[in-house]
Every structure is written in structure tokens, then in C-alpha cells.
Amino acid sequence: MSDEPFNMSMRKFLKQVGVTSQQEIEKAVREAGPQGKVTVSARVTCPELGLDHVIAGQIDTGDSGEGK
């Protein structure tokens, strides 16, 4: 395995994942309005390598209207 092409390709893929995911989440929040904290998850799979990785967390989308 050659480290330089692998690293460059990996970075390009992860940048695409990050940018497009952020755009889609922002679009969904704009359409739904502030919900407070929402649970999100992402799955990365690579059948050739037997990879199935899930990342989960919360995003604070803004005031949920509580206390108003």
C-alpha cells in the first residue's frame, strides 16, 4: 500500500462525506425548524473490507421553544 495516494484519496472521500452530510442536515433543519437536540447517525460501509462502521451523536439545532 502506498501511503500518499491512499491518504489523499481518503481525505478527498471524507471531505465529500462531511460537506454533503452537513448540507443535507442543514437543509433538513431549515425545513423542520429548530428542534433542540436531535440524534443523528452515519454509516460507512465497505463490503470488500468487511467494514460496517456507525457513528452516532447529537446535534443542537437551536431553541426547541422550551421555557417560552
pLDDT score of 65:
59
| pTM confidence score | 0.79
User: Is 50 part of any domain?
Assistant: yes
User: Is 33 part of any domain?
Assistant: yes
Domain count, the chain: 1
**Domain coverage including residue 48:** 3-60
Span 27-52, average pLDDT:
95
Q: How far is the CA of 57 from the CAs of 37, 41, 54, 61, in angstroms?
A: 10, 6, 10, 13
Span 28-54, average pLDDT:
95
Collapse the DSSP code of 47 into the 3-class scheme (helix H, G, I; strand E, B; otherwise coil) and give the result.
helix
Q: How far is the CA of 46 from the CAs of 5, 14, 29, 60, in angstroms?
A: 18, 14, 29, 30
User: Is 66 part of any domain?
Assistant: no
User: Is 54 part of any domain?
Assistant: yes
User: Is 67 part of any domain?
Assistant: no
User: Is 47 part of any domain?
Assistant: yes
pLDDT score of 68:
44
Answer yes or no: is pLDDT of 57 > 90.
yes
